[in-house]
Amino acid sequence: MNKKILVATTNKGKMAELTAMLDVDCQWLSLADFPDVEEVLEDGLTFAENAQKKALGYARATGCWTIADDSGLVVDALDGAPGIMSARFAGMPEKDMAPISLDDRNTARVLELMKNIPAENRTARFVCCLCLASPEKILLQTEGKLEGRITTEKKGRSGFGYDPIVFVPELNKTVAELTAAEKNAISHRGNAIRKLQPLLLDILDKPG
């Protein structure tokens, strides 16, 4: 099988994780293989819209089937925020600010907004939408979630982003306290990939 599929990322870790879990016989490409392609603007109102825009946009720009994802943290007590703004929830730091990472700024803002919220109302979830598109249309779309609760302080050193403040009751740990294997087994992205895998195999097996 000589099908080429572009994964719309330059992140080597995400690329390796997704292609390993999908485990299909094709030629995998990343955005690093298309350095002259313009970035697709993520201005959708939902994770699904952003994943669709990226998948279609890069598929049309490259001529390749493209898989794109959009993901983030949804906190019920914050009316769904950070949501699609998860990566930039605290805004971009000013040049003269202390060198605090964007992840630390984002988690700090969530904890500050949640400081007076009682335990029973601290429900939240990670959401990932995956989309596969050809240059002509959306071919497949899946969604994965990881339910949890917002902690009152950061805990754990693994992972990234909001992982240290999302507690998983079933495992009695934050996501940042999980091993890589534990996280992959339950993560929102892992769940979305596992749903996509049989659908992708099926569509690749069809003639034409």
Look at the alpha carbons of 91, 30, 51, 103 in this order and tell me if their dihedral is positive or negative. negative
Among 26, 39, 5, 8, which Cα is nearest to 129's?
8
Distance (Å, whole) CA 130 – CA 79 = 23
Give tens-digit pLDDT for 41-71. 989 999 999 999 999 999 999 999 999 999 9
Distance (Å, whole) CA 161 – CA 176 = 9
| Cα-Cα end-to-end distance for the chain | 12
Give pairs for 23-28: CB < 8 Å, separation 24+: 23/197, 24/197, 24/200, 24/201, 24/204, 25/1, 25/204, 26/1, 26/2, 26/204, 27/2, 27/3
Q: What percent of the chain has pLDDT over 70?
A: 94
Strands (E), the chain: 4-7, 27-30, 65-75, 123-133, 138-150, 166-168, 173-174
Q: Token pair for residue 120?
A: 């029973």
**CATH code, residues 4-205:** 3.90.950.10
Task: State the chain's mean pLDDT as an integer.
Answer: 91
Instruction: State which H helix or E strand residue 106 sits in.
Output: helix 102-113
Among 182, 176, 173, 181, which Cα is nearest to 159's?
176
Number of Cβ atoms within 10 Å of the Cβ of 172 = 8
pLDDT band at 96 (very low <50, low <70, confident <90, very high): very low
CB 174 within 8 A of CB 163: yes
Q: Helices 12-22 and 188-205 meet at what angle, rounded to 10?
A: 50
Higher pLDDT, 129 or 10: 129
Give pTM, 2 decimals.
Answer: 0.89
Q: What pLDDT was estimated at residue 16?
A: 84
| Residue 71 main-chain phi, psi, to 5 deg | -150, 165
Whether the per-residue pLDDT at 93 is higher than 90: the answer is: no
Whether the per-residue pLDDT at 92 is higher than 70: the answer is: no
- Just list the catalytic residues: 70
Q: Token pair for residue 123?
A: 């429900």
Look at the alpha carbons of 20, 24, 26, 29 in this order and tell me if their dihedral is positive or negative. negative
